[in-house]
Amino acid sequence: MHLDFFSRLPKTTRGNRVDKRLKLTVAQVETLKQYGKEYFDGETGYGGYFYDGRWKPVAEEMIEHYKLTESSRVLEVGCAKGYLMYEFYRLGITNVHGCDISEYAISNVPKEIAGNFRVMGADKLDYPDSAFDLVISIDCINNLDSVGVDRAILEMMRVSRRDVFMRVGSYRTVEEYENIKGWGVTSLTFDSEAQWLTRFKRLNYSGDYYLRFMELLK
Ligand SMILES: C[S@@+](CC[C@H](N)C(=O)[O-])C[C@H]1O[C@@H](n2cnc3c(N)ncnc32)[C@H](O)[C@@H]1O
Residue to probe by mutation, ligand 1, list 100, 108, 127, 136, most atoms within 8 Å of CB:
100
Residue 5 lies in a domain: no
Does the CB atom of residue 149 touch ligand 1 within 6 A? no
What integer pLDDT is reported at residue 216 of this predicted model? Answer: 63
Residue 1 inside a domain? The answer is: no
Over the Cα atoms of the chain, what is R_g?
Answer: 17
Model pTM greater than 0.85?
A: yes
Number of domains forming the structure of the chain:
1
Say if 9 falls within a structural domain. no
CATH number of the domain that residue 83 is part of: 3.40.50.150
Residues 88, 63 contacting (CB under 8 angstroms) = yes
218 domain-assigned: no
Q: Which residues contact residue 114 at a Cβ distance below 8 angstroms, ignoring those fewer than 6 apart? A: 82, 106
Domain of residue 117 covers: 15-213
105 lines ligand 1 (CB under 6 A): yes
User: What residue ranges of the chain have pLDDT lower than 70?
Assistant: 13-16, 216-218
Residue 181 located in a structural domain: yes
> Is residue 25 situated within a structural domain?
yes
Q: Quick one: pLDDT at residue 16?
A: 65
Residue 198 domain flag: yes
pLDDT of res. 112: 97
- pLDDT given at position 45: 84
